[in-house]
Chains A and B, each alone.
Chain A
């Protein structure tokens, strides 16, 4: 196969999966041009990560829920509730920061178990259960906080979101530790890609031409290391980014390679067939929501740590951003399709757009309009792509 045919195939046949990455790159290029490179400054990239980390964390749980064929509208309220619980424990109760973290996680798990019970064992559609949850947990947040904000958190707690790891290995004007961590990540990625490629060749699958493969790795490595260098020259590695990276890796593994992940895809793809194949559908649905509650709690901790306060209105509309991230990232409304990585890129697309538009001084109302249109176009593209694939059959 010639290189040109190869590139063409990469763009056409895998449009569904690669389209999102191409769009991501285009959006970055567009906004860095519009903001005269401000978007890609070290300082801005660091704050972008910090600012949108909680949406990305929510999107990890949300994409699993969506793959399973459900939806969760309550996560914004759960973010507020878990932050409020942490605040009550740490600020009002004077207990150490980790007690607040544990209390928040416990609350998230309880919330997830509550919603999972109604969805899985009573059989109420998730839309209804979580719509109720949205009201319920917002109300509980107000109760817990007595309708007022609680602040400030002690510095140990806020460093979860605003802390940086740097200086561990020294460096001149940049943080060596950050670079080393990223380099390890890149090498791991390259090794994994190479192993996959070998497995595919062994199984007589089509693979890209060697040149293209190496080129792809080089591009990815260059982009990632450049990003790392920017972080390193600013304040080092944000703690949030470590949390996020660990979550992404763990959940990529879970969705792609675990039995639980398989069962989620099976339920979303064909519920009846999954049931008759011995999938314990109720149990899987239940744990999906418990997991969502857990991740919403992490997002709640990060958010409250970042703002150093628990506010009654915290997390408002977060659910919609998280859901949008999943759909922009290629998840199917009908379930059975989606990836954690896709949801992350979808979330980043939204992040870059909001951030870029803010830098340009575009007001909130216009931003909302643009985001709405992008969401619509992303799903329209997906639908068009599916039709194209069906016609090619």
Chain B
């Protein structure tokens, strides 16, 4: 069917000027009038079938091979106009590859199969080609220039020029201001991006995308780095775009979000498209939908997302008293204030807090003062006061810290698995300053087995592993230092459901072996699922300590947003 957009030109005639298909869809009357209640939204859509193709995008039989690997095999994806379409799958299933095929990162000819966009076969050679057709992708890693202003970033590569060729700053800043308002960001366009948090930076990426006349917006893990508030804002924005007729494809590991926002979901497993289903048919409640997605992703029922464990807390291992940390570059700004907490042997203790509450700062300052200045307070290990002024001291004292950002702070991506695993425990592997490499190979091999790191051998570059496997390498590195206390900062961020379960199992094994584990997480269900006790942190202060048996998400959230401190229980 060759349904070219004449009808859209005609419908747009109400605005008095012809509009091509790649104009922002917000101006289209048909989108504005459509009924947004889930029940009959598709009825409305099929009614339009004669005016424009119902499906904005159809990917047919996409097969993409890399030397030795079939990354995608006969993948089919159909996206209806105006919907929010979720793509779910474990890490390494091929979601990002599929999106790279769609957006022209992998040019036409390097894959098999057809991409049909708006009823026309698309053959994108570059990202610019796909953007010209209204397909814009926002990658998981934000691509903003920190020392340029918001407006400069939005129009980077797409500058608003004056007749002479110079940049029209008035126009640039005025249009940027309008876009910022559209995405609900209250900042002046001249602010430097480096001054903004991740959540706001994500919004700027979106403003940048909609500045490009987008009709199909692809978001790769848009909320992975965002806290709940920012995530909620972003999801609302997507709904707003939907009302304006912009179609969105969203890749996310946060299943609750998908359950909340998506119209349909396509499951990809092992490089193949498994199924596509309407969320309205997926079981009603958010939990039921999530279970449905998980079932598709792992190809089996995951009865319990959190492995069970009997809790037998022993003696106190770590205690922190009156821990106060100041910001490293802004003197006088208190990041953590008089925090008190303790962890016992065989216990998993959670720290719940919104982004910016000081969770990571607390953990890193305890771990050899890796963060902050003017740190005061005491650390006790096994009841004895210790000074851990440097990271080597902390490692020697038996503390391990698994960072929230494994690529930035956890791994040397250009080195192999073996050398990453041994990185923190070289002391144990070396004699007279030289490394015993046979022993190293053996140790790494043992961790590959016990942690189930899925690679042919330990000489594979870590940068080539999936997120879940990378996280297992980081965990192996720290387990090899034989710590008594493990601080895990967002241990399951950006990794798939199956790998998450494995990480939880490892945590359980650790506490069963008498280790003390402190978990920092943004996902409250995760904390409720694996912890014995949970501390809540808000604005640098510990606002509560809750036993998991009596904790609820709502209760925790209330404590996490509480601005005035209450006396913490000793």
Contact = CB atoms under 8 A, between A and B. Distances in A.
Q: Do A and B bind each other?
A: yes
A387 interface: no
B392 A276 contact: no
A92 interface: no
Contacts of A155: none
Given A259-B435, A266-B412, A203 B457 contact: yes
B435 A258 contact: yes
Interface in B456-470: 457, 459, 464
Nearest to A199: B438
A280 B401 CA distance: 16
A204 B367 CA distance: 38
B465 to A, nearest CB: 11
A278 B395 contact: yes
Main SS of chain B's interface residues?
mixed
Contact of B392 (A205, A257, A269, A278): A278
A202 to B, nearest CB: 9
Contacts of A393: 66, 464
Contacts of B392: 278, 280
B401 A265 contact: no
A76 interface: no
Interface residues of B, number: 38
A337 interface: yes
Interface stretch (B157-165, B335-343, B423-431): B423-431
B441 interface: yes
Interface string B317-354: 00000000000000000000000000000000000000
Interface stretch (B15-23, B52-60, B230-238, B403-411): B403-411
Contacts of A16: none
Contacts of A275: 370, 391
B433 interface: yes
A365 interface: no
Interface in B6-49: none
A51 to B, nearest CB: 34
A336 interface: yes
A277 B433 contact: no
B411 A270 contact: yes
Interface in A247-293: 253, 257-260, 262-263, 265-266, 269-270, 272-280
Contacts of A259: 426-427, 430, 433-435
Given A203-B441, A205-B457, A276 B410 contact: yes
A269 B66 contact: no
A54 B413 CA distance: 34
Nearest to A253: B434
A184 interface: no
A175 B18 CA distance: 91
A168 interface: no
A63 B57 CA distance: 51
A219 interface: no
A122 interface: no
A1 interface: no
A369 interface: no
Contacts of A257: 434-435, 437
A387 B367 CA distance: 37
Contacts of A4: none
A367 B401 CA distance: 54
Most central of B370, B410, B422, B426 by chain A CB within 10 Å: B426
A276 B435 contact: no
B415 interface: yes
Nearest to B392: A278
A278 B459 contact: no
B414 interface: yes
Contacts of B438: 199
B391 A204 contact: no
A392 interface: yes
Contacts of B391: 275-279
B434 to A, nearest CB: 5
B229 interface: no
Most central of B392, B412, B445 by chain A CB within 10 Å: B412
A327 B367 CA distance: 37
B390 A280 contact: yes
A266 B423 contact: yes
A274 B419 CA distance: 12
A260 B433 contact: yes
Interface string A99-122: 000000000000000000000000
A269 B412 contact: yes
Contacts of B367: 276
Contacts of A336: 412, 414-415
Interface in B347-369: 367-368
Contacts of B427: 259
Closest 6 CB pairs of A and B: A269-B412, A277-B424, A277-B423, A270-B412, A278-B392, A278-B395
23 contacts: A203-B441, A203-B457, A205-B459, A257-B437, A258-B433, A259-B434, A259-B435, A266-B415, A266-B423, A270-B411, A270-B413, A273-B408, A273-B411, A275-B391, A276-B367, A276-B403, A276-B410, A277-B423, A277-B424, A278-B368, A278-B424, A279-B391, A280-B392
Interface of A: 199, 203-205, 253, 257-260, 262-263, 265-266, 269-270, 272-280, 336-337, 391-393
